Structure 1
Amino acid sequence: MKKSVFSLIFVVFLISFVSAEIIINPVQNEVYNLGNIITIPATVKTTSSITGTFEMSLLCNGKSINFYKNGINLGSGEEKRIEASLVLNKNIIGESKGDCKIKATLGTDSALTNEFRISDTIKINLQTEQKEFDPKENIIMKGTAVKENGEDVNGFLEMGVVMGNESDTRMYYESVNNGFFSVNFSMPKDARAGQYLLKLKIYEKDSSNEITNNGFTDYNILIRQIPTSLEIVFDNKNVEPGTNLKVKTILHDQTGEKIPSSAIMTIKDGENKILEQREISTDEYMEYSVNYDEKPSNWTVVSVSNRMTTNSFFTIDSKEIAGVTIINKTVTVTNTGNVPYNKTFLIKIGDYSSNINVYLEVNEEKKYILSAPDGEYDVEVISEGESKLTEKVLLTGDAINIKEISRFNFVNFPVIFIFVIFVLGFIVFMMFRKGQQKTFFGYVKKWGKNKSNNVEGNSIQNIPKMEESSSENKGPLMDFKSNKAELSLSLNGEKQGTVAICLRIKNLAEISRKDESIKDTLRKINLIVSDNKGFTYENQDDLFFLLIPLITRTFKNERKAIEIANKMKNILENHNKMFKQKIDFGISLNYGDIIAKKEKDVLKFMSFGAFMNSSKKIASLANGDIYLSDNFGKRAMHEVKAEKKNIQGVEVYVIKELKEKREEHKKFISQFIRRLERDNKDKRKEEEGD
């Protein structure tokens, strides 16, 4: 009986358990962002009457949030369609995000949807490619913003520019419409050169002003160093005659920081005459020796760098000073200053002393002869309380006396006077005799011709030799005809990327510029450069050969420069094998910017940065070899096989092999193919003839 009751209860329970079926439709999207609404259609079918509560819950990461509840009363065989919606905002789902499902429940029956993702992420895509800017330059940061579900963002943008540290951040605000944003801003004119971090945040808000979806990204920009001022700095603005002027140029950027570059410095005297002009690296002292007798005046230093010019003045100080010497019995006082000397000397001979007023023009000297009874005396010369000279001197005479030797006269120096008269008489006699010989020349041809030849021979041989010895190492190394280049202080035009071949002659001081073998060797080199439309600039120990697109009509001058440099090297090596006078040389190849302008047969140019100085430096490191600068080496990688080296802290490339031209390969292949085709045609004709 008990078993029958238990079985009946179990059957009733089983019938109620399977009396309802829940059919829930799949969620349509794989990803939903906050703010979206998820619609979940569901259907409940019964096989018997049922009364209960139908519920829907969001399941995310093990957490359940009920968002729908409704009572149901259905008869047997009835069904009910339910349209539930879930609004994805924080008031309903809280912080629930990630992979989720929706569960529908009626009594003990339940059903689950497919898995989907709830996200609050916004993807930011920047469309700005430029990374380097000048201060005050207009910077536009633009791009797109899309939610993870693929919908466009309509929200807000905040951008912070970190100026130095997180506490110093400039904020910019813009709106985002239909997924697009654009921020227009600029950096201050005195912004420090370097990297700056831009932090972008894009977000949306709900009706309660709460942030829903958001996205973040960072972007780095580089603010360039802009030359803004040129400064001339003196080691001392008051220069003493006989010492060196030390002056340098400092190029400042927008914040006053130094910019390494080069400058052309010119020193002018008080009459605006150019005394020295030199190209030198910025922040490097230029020295100029001021003569000891240079008169007091204000001089000018002019500096040009990066299209900026500045000048400053310094003073050559007055220096009233005299040198004193004693030779035998004569005291010599010489004005070694740069202004007239007007002071009193006290000369002491033993216990005797006498004041002498001395007035001397610049470089003038006066002599005083000392006499005293025969013996050795302590002689001291004192000026302004300071002892200038003290010596023991043997003197002769009747009494102590100090007498100025003012001029030569017959009474004081009879022997010298007689000698001078003799010399003058001899000169007059020789001039008279020479005049007689010239008159006689017209009557006795043979004798006169011989005498004339001797005289002319002496004139021709002696005078030019003196001129040669005095100017042996002066003048230019090369005789320019049509490819001379000159450095200009100021030039208007566009920058041109230029290849410079720098030939450093390291033993220039030892080389005679009159040596025909040297001149012939350099003439050959210049001819090669000229034939390749290059221009030559001479600067002390260095010869620069410039290949400029303006002249060569091509921007690809690297291979041509390498070929010229190799020919130079061969010419110089052959010279050193053949001639006694060797040339110690180094060759560099560099690439940089210049402004150039051709005026008649002379090319005027102005270089930028350290282009010329770095060329000189690299050439000085190359001992009988060719070194490529880092700039040139990177541009010529497709032309040469080179090994990178660090020599005395300078990155250079050393050429190992010059690659063959691709055009030659193409030409060879095309000729080879045409030859094959021609051979095949000939072969077919022969076969047809057979």
Structure 2
Amino acid sequence: MRITTKGVFILFLIFFSIQVVSAELLLGQTKSLYNLGDEFEISIKISPNTYVSNFLIAKLICSGHEIELYKSPHSVMAGEEKEIIISTNLDNFLTSGVEGDCFIKLEYGGEEVSSQKFEVTGIIRVTLSIQGILFSPGQIVNVHGQAEKANGELLKGFVEVSTPGIESSLIGPVTEGEFDFNFTISENAPSGSYTMTARAYEKDAFEEVLNEGEATSIIRIKQIIKEIDIALNDQSVSPKEELTYNVLLYDQARERAEADVSITVYKPNGEVLERKIVKAGETNTVHLEYNSPPGYWGIEARIDDLETKKEFLVEELMDLSFTLENNTLIVENIGNIPYNGPVEISIGGINEIKDIGDLAVEESKKFKLLAPDGEYKVEVGEGSQKQDLGTTFLTGKAISVQDIGSSLFGNSFVILIGLILILIIALIVVYIYKRISRKRALLGTSHSPLKKMDQTIAGAQKDTKQDSSMIDKGEKQESAIVSLKLKNILDLNKNSEATKSIDSALWKAKEAGAKIYSDSDYRIMIFAPVLTKQKDNSLKAILTARSIERILNSHNRRHPVKIKYGIGVNSGTLIVESKEGKFKF
């Protein structure tokens, strides 16, 4: 009987088919999820129908990557059942960081079988809790949280908490899935919102990270103003200009801050020019009038408990304004210091030089312009500056400029009458004083009812008693007396500005060489040749009275507390003596 080649081949195929299906493979159950580093175990049962001897190969397949877990030869008799346990750790050595959906693929005796799918992950679920959201520099922050691996196990590892932007980073332990610790915000941490990140992780025996996860939270740091400054555009300014300044605020990180700031501007005498609220960082100005007093002014900025003060110099300004009204030239001091100098007045090209004298701030003086009948061009000048006032019709015999007079006796008829009455009262006082002095001299003593008042321009009035000794060698001298009556002396004594103005006025008499005496609300100034070294003192007394009036009137224009006064001038004969630096009369 012949067996053909074709028959042999068919028998071989039948035999091979019996071998393939003869080995039954059974895989045990796996968990649905594993974390990296977890122990992995699976049971395999081989139950062939015929004798099988071959390699059993187990592969871990994750996201297209194949990792051979097991390869070993096994021989199993027909009808027997053999169980193999594959146990390993899903660490970095095995998985090389491969994660995702995985399954086990078995190969044995030409048969393949796959397990159910399971997940391999390195995820740790982290929650972060912070007590509070708004913090100040230097404040302690409590950080608390939990960390759990994806497989449900509580983490035993580490947590790193970092806050980029404020240079804060620390590492702490995670025990039984919990972490809790405090840290202090830096004193110079910039203000703003920051993201705090808590990164929890687990390491293997080789200090390589297996599993990790993170959570974030937002914290805000307050802006605390630590420094205040004032930036001036210049250290000195003319009264006709504006001073520009900026208020600068700096926080704990030396960064610019914005806020409302209280500003106070002080004059040189300490009087407040203005108070207002400004925005830090914005440009502001101090508006100066043309008559703003010269000297060092102050700008004070304040916010909360911080304050700063800067000084700037208001320069002296000597300036005049000229107004032509018909044939009258009005000269006004629009500077911030008394004007003392000449002015040039040109009428039709003919120049006249007039001495303005001591013209106080905001005070004016009038001149009458005279010329033969006709239209004349009028120009005025001070120094190198000239001003054309136009043309006006003038009358007169010749070109000249006449001083209309000061305001001492020409302000109003009522004031003139008042001054005359005060002068009469002053004369009566002087007459009574002389009689009393003469009587005391006859009795061998001389007590003056007036108190000598030696004062400085900045000091308060200081009374001293007249020396009681007799006049030994007196002589008659033509003298002048200026009498000043302060009608509201009680109110004036309570006001520092008023007393300063009175002191300034009386200082004019002191500069002229007069002796000043005080009696109640009277201030009597004596001008004698033995004091002034000048034979005729009448004009000196009148000029002094005018200066006093200008100072007091200037005070009344500027301040709410008015000085009510009367002033008079008289001349006559006094018996005087100056001995050992003491003046007696």
Q: TM-score, normalised by structure 2?
A: 0.59
Match among 193, 199, 204 for residue 195 of structure 1: 193
Cα separation, 2, equivalents of 1:86 and 1:16: 31
Query: Any idea what SS the aligned residue of 2:155 has?
Result: coil
CA contact (8 A) 1:300 1:314 kept: yes
Output one character per residue of 1:157-209: Cα deviation in whole Å (capped at 9) or x when no partner. 45554439xxxx87654454443445755555444433334455443333344
Structure 2 residue aligned with 1:301: 299
* Counterpart code for 2:337: V
Identity of aligned residues (%): 29
CA deviations 1:286-307 (Å, max 9, x no partner) are 7665554342233333333345
Distance 1:422 1:364, change over 3 A: closer
Q: CA deviation at 1:242?
A: 6.6
**How many angstroms apart in 2 are the aligned matches of 1:401 and 1:10?**
151
The residue identity in structure 2 corresponding to 1:83 is I
Residue identity opposite 1:106 in structure 2: Y
Question: What is the identity, as a one-letter code, of the residue corresponding to 2:85?
Answer: E
How far does residue 321 in structure 1 lie from its aligned partner after superposition? 1.0
SS at match of 1:149: coil
Shift of residue 77, structure 1, vs aligned partner: 4.3
Where does residue 353 of structure 2 map in the other structure? 355
Pairing 1:371–2:374 present = no
Instruction: State the Cα deviation string for residues 514-571 of structure 1 (Å, max 9, x = none).
Output: xxxxxxxxxxxxxxxxxxxxxxxxxxxxxxxxxxxxxxxxxxxxxxxxxxxxxxxxxx
Contact 1:377–1:394 (Cα < 8 Å) also in 2: yes
Q: Which amino acid aligns with 1:211?
A: V
1:277 maps to which residue?
Answer: 275
Which secondary structure does the structure 1 equivalent of 2:299 belong to? strand
User: Match of 1:24?
Assistant: 27
User: Higher helix share goes to which structure?
Assistant: 1
Contact 2:131 2:142 in 1 (8 A): no
SS of 1:344's equivalent? strand
Which secondary structure state, in structure 2, belongs to the residue aligned with residue 92 of structure 1? Answer: helix
RMSD: 4.2
1:157/1:174 contact within 8 Å kept:
yes
| SS of match in other structure, 1:127 | strand
- Determine the structure 2 residue equivalent to 1:69: 71
Tell me the amino acid that sits aligned with residue 400 of structure 2. Answer: N
AA in 2 matched with 1:381: V
Map 1:451-470 → 2, pairs under 5 A: none
Q: 3-state DSSP class of the match of 2:94?
A: helix
Identify unmatched segments of 5+ residues in structure 1. Answer: 429-690
2:63 equivalent to 1:58: no
Residue 222 of structure 2 corresponds to which residue in structure 1? Answer: 224
Aligned residue pairs, count: 416
Change in CA separation of 1:398 and 1:155 when aligned onto 2, cut-off 3 Å? same
Matched, 1:104 2:106: yes
Kept in 2, the 8 Å contact 1:126–1:141? The answer is yes
d(CA) in 1 for partners of 2:181, 2:32: 33
Aligned to 1:553: none
Partner of 2:346, secondary structure, is: strand
**Quick one: distance in 2 between partners of 1:336 and 1:268?**
21
CA distance in 1, matches of 2:82, 2:414: 150
Q: Is the 8 A contact 2:124 2:147 kept in 1?
A: yes
Q: Deviation string for 1:602-636 (max 9, x for gaps)?
A: xxxxxxxxxxxxxxxxxxxxxxxxxxxxxxxxxxx
Aligned position for 1:401: 400
AA partner of residue 54 (structure 1): L
**Alignment partner for residue 93 of structure 2, among 87, 91, 99?**
91
Amino acid in structure 2 at the alignment position of 1:115: K
1:639-672 alpha-carbon deviations (Å, 9 max, x no partner): xxxxxxxxxxxxxxxxxxxxxxxxxxxxxxxxxx
**Higher strand proportion (structure 1 or 2):** 2
Task: Map 1:45-194 to 2 at 5 A.
Answer: 45-128=47-130, 130-158=132-160, 161-163=163-165, 172-181=170-179, 185=183, 188-194=186-192
Which residue matches 1:469? none
Equivalent position amino acid for 1:56 in 2: A
**What displacement does 1:420 show?**
5.5
TM-score computed with the length of structure 1 as normaliser: 0.51
Deviations 1:297-323 (A, max 9, x none): 333333333453333334433221112
* Counterparts of residues 532-611 of structure 1 (less than 5 Å): none
Rg bigger for which structure?
2
The separation in 1 between residues aligned to 2:51 and 2:377, in whole angstroms, is: 148
Quote the residue 2:316 is aligned against.
318
Amino acid at match of 1:24: L
Q: 1:9 to 1:174 in 2, by over 3 A?
A: same
- 1:338 aligns with one of 330, 336, 344: 336
CA deviation after TM superposition for structure 1 residue 31, in Å? 0.8
Task: Tell me if the contact between 1:198 and 1:221 (Cα under 8 Å) persists in the aligned partners.
Answer: yes
Separation in 2 of the partners of 1:192 and 1:348? 70
Question: Whole-Å Cα distance in 1 between the matches of residues 59 and 378 of structure 2?
Answer: 122
Q: CA deviation at 1:114?
A: 2.8
Q: Unpaired runs of 5+ in structure 2?
A: 422-585
SS for the counterpart of 1:123 is strand
Q: 1:372 to 1:259 in 2, by over 3 A?
A: same
- Structure 1 residue 136, shift from structure 2 partner: 4.0
CA deviation string 1:112-150 (max 9, x = no partner): 433211112222222236443334444454422322212
Query: 2:416, 2:190 → 1: CA distance?
Result: 78
Measure, in 1, the Cα distance between the counterparts of 2:213 and 2:24.
Answer: 43
Secondary structure of 2:297's counterpart equals strand
d(CA) in 2 for partners of 1:343, 1:38 = 111
1:391 maps to a residue whose letter is G
Counterpart AA for 1:362: V
Name the CA shift for 1:325/1:211 in 2 (closer, same or farther; >3 Å).
same
State whether residues 268 and 293 of structure 2, in contact with CA within 8 Å, keep that contact through their aligned partners in structure 1: no
